Structure 1
């Protein structure tokens, strides 16, 4: 069953806070929900589907549905794939709507990692007993992938730095971004080394905050006074080391989720006007760009260099809100903001300095887990109609 044009994103909201010591996580969820509902012109009474992930406290979606007062639910989904969860939830919401399980699906994310820092490790993960005690971290995994990409393809730290330069060039126009100063390649290379070859400015910010989306049936979308943003295609995939038998560090699960999304959408990378690319680290962006087909494997370094990702300058404007590298990254699950900014671009509601002209087709993609280890990818193709 295809979901092409079977569902529309009618509401989108990004919480403006980046530090919330005086708010609870459920409160942030509720404020995000209220913002998306107001954007769409709907109410909680209209919601009959609810989607969230591991950032929801207590019993996850069940607890949050009760807290939000969702009394008309017919469908609920708490699928957890880390940073890609909320991109995947849009796809799952569209599938549920196409199957007649619900007609107005609310998706919320919220987190307070700045106010309540994470503890080390991933309790319950199979590898935790072997890796956690020696200090394995996300930074180590991504640094390893960057080093391997450099070894195999000649990618340089200068090229990776251009991804941060593009993100910061966009973030200067976002009043809510954590990092609004435009940086240069030299600034990135001069920042402290975190996990060789990744510098501090190659890493994303950590913020409190959240966001919400409303995915609705076509008849609901067409009755609302909002621009029509259709879910045109979607794909998802899981990739892991398989006990050491699958240690390809330069290819992500987006190599499967991306082509699947484009195939369902009936278009290709060359048709995309704007790209929201999950950017936990600069190397995350580069590898996804290759895997999605925007350039050949090994060509990512040359593709991102010299401002090719900067709106109004380069071939493929990306993350025009500043992304996770500069804007926000709540609860290690920043994928929802990738969809939110794609919706802004398609509606023509991005900041004028970064709005892509005639933006009618966008991609949003995310990586959850750890690149180079177990991770999941989700990709959406969205269209303004």
Structure 2
């Protein structure tokens, strides 16, 4: 069990950064997290980032922020990276390599009019010669997994739509959410088809902005005037295509979740709240199954009729509006999953969606292409 605590968080309020540079966004979220924790820049001696950081990863951002660090990590497993970074920071703290670690994510793909999924078409990747001739579009990757799930288990488009409906019920209470309107199943099914069976409203938003998290040694956490949130267990895994033994209805979350639950010594029934990656509705459904909230193939029935809505359903999910409605900065949604999980554990979520007696929660991320190669990271957090 980790002795590291999350002591500071911040989510950038912008969803369209016309004026700021990417580096400036990283700086602004860092300042916000420091203020939340009650710490100063000089307290930071560890820094972690992923491929969204401009320049040479930590080298550029550490200099830009003026940090003096003795530990740096630039692990990149796609959008799940910030969740893995929390565990890496805790490991570094346990090993005595740093005391207070800052993690940042930021980007401005919306202002820059970037095309989602462009990273899948870079020619010098080792897999490119085998895949680019077939134009492996991002939405189609997830749509293929959804279609297979429907074929194997009888999952329906209506059931997937319930995921968007539930998360939209939460987004209406978030003043910063890009999409705040509550939608119905009919609204989702009536939106344009993007990649069969995924409609436009099955897909996440594209936003600018970012977020930051500060992880600190237990003694430092105790000295701060903030609610204490401890990392209780974590796991990460990478899954990739390997011929006929690749099951596209199961994600790397099956392994990362099992690792996290084993380390934490708890079960899915103990979890009060779940922040999970929602790049598409199918991403949520597969995570629910792979993390053990329901059996494989039961996800469609599990999410029907509001089972993910706070105060109504069995497992409240993404009470900030998630990537489907609120924020998916830099095409990487892992950071926002940590932020809302911490808010729930602190009792700082919007009163309309705050989960009662929320003492144990999960932040879970999925980054990459579900039908080929992707990484998952799972963090079980506990309020003390």
TM-score w.r.t. the length of structure 1 is: 0.97
Shift of 1:211: 0.1
Map residues 128-207 of structure 1 onto 2, 5 A cutoff.
128-207=128-207
Q: Kindly tell me the number of residue pairs found equivalent between the two proteins.
A: 380
**SS, match of residue 82 in structure 1:** coil
Q: Is the 8 A contact 2:207 2:331 kept in 1?
A: no
Separation in structure 2 between the aligned mates of residue 319 and residue 59 of structure 1, nearest angstrom: 32
Separation in structure 2 between the aligned mates of residue 112 and residue 121 of structure 1, nearest angstrom: 15
Q: Are 1:93 and 2:100 counterparts?
A: no
Q: Specify the alignment match of 1:214 in structure 2.
A: 214
Q: Are 1:295 and 2:291 counterparts?
A: no
Shift of 1:133: 4.3
Shift of 1:57: 0.6
Q: Are 1:231 and 2:231 counterparts?
A: yes
Q: Specify the alignment match of 1:112 in structure 2.
A: 108
Q: Is the 8 A contact 1:204 1:329 kept in 2?
A: yes
Which deviations, in whole Å up to 9, do the C-alpha atoms of 1:342-375 show, x marking residues without a partner? 0000000000000000100001101011112100
**SS, match of residue 266 in structure 2:** coil
Q: Are 1:282 and 2:281 counterparts?
A: yes
Shift of 1:23: 0.5
**SS, match of residue 189 in structure 1:** helix
Separation in structure 1 between the aligned mates of residue 363 and residue 133 of structure 2, nearest angstrom: 35
Q: Is the 8 A contact 2:191 2:199 kept in 1?
A: yes
Q: Specify the alignment match of 1:263 in structure 2.
A: 262
Q: Is the 8 A contact 2:171 2:179 kept in 1?
A: yes
Separation in structure 2 between the aligned mates of residue 383 and residue 314 of structure 1, nearest angstrom: 21
Separation in structure 1 between the aligned mates of residue 214 and residue 160 of structure 2, nearest angstrom: 34
Separation in structure 1 between the aligned mates of residue 2 and residue 282 of structure 2, nearest angstrom: 32
Map residues 18-57 of structure 1 onto 2, 5 A cutoff.
18-57=15-54
Separation in structure 2 between the aligned mates of residue 304 and residue 316 of structure 1, nearest angstrom: 9
Separation in structure 2 between the aligned mates of residue 126 and residue 248 of structure 1, nearest angstrom: 22
Separation in structure 2 between the aligned mates of residue 241 and residue 264 of structure 1, nearest angstrom: 27
Separation in structure 2 between the aligned mates of residue 352 and residue 100 of structure 1, nearest angstrom: 39
Separation in structure 1 between the aligned mates of residue 16 and residue 245 of structure 2, nearest angstrom: 39
**SS, match of residue 125 in structure 1:** coil
CA RMSD of aligned residues (A): 0.9
Q: Is the 8 A contact 1:121 1:128 kept in 2?
A: no
Shift of 1:137: 1.2
Question: Which stretch shows the higher mean deviation, 118-127 or 29-38?
Answer: 118-127
Q: Is the 8 A contact 1:240 1:246 kept in 2?
A: no
Separation in structure 2 between the aligned mates of residue 181 and residue 246 of structure 1, nearest angstrom: 41
Separation in structure 2 between the aligned mates of residue 258 and residue 26 of structure 1, nearest angstrom: 32
Structure 1: runs of 5+ lacking an equivalent? none
Which deviations, in whole Å up to 9, do the C-alpha atoms of 1:309-332 show, x marking residues without a partner? 000010000100000000010111
Which deviations, in whole Å up to 9, do the C-alpha atoms of 1:288-345 show, x marking residues without a partner? 1000000000000000000000000100001000000000101111101000000000
**SS, match of residue 383 in structure 1:** strand
Separation in structure 1 between the aligned mates of residue 259 and residue 191 of structure 2, nearest angstrom: 38
Q: Is the 8 A contact 1:234 1:379 kept in 2?
A: yes
**SS, match of residue 83 in structure 1:** coil
Runs of 4 or more, structure 1, over 3 Å off, are none
Separation in structure 2 between the aligned mates of residue 216 and residue 121 of structure 1, nearest angstrom: 33
Shift of 1:130: 2.9
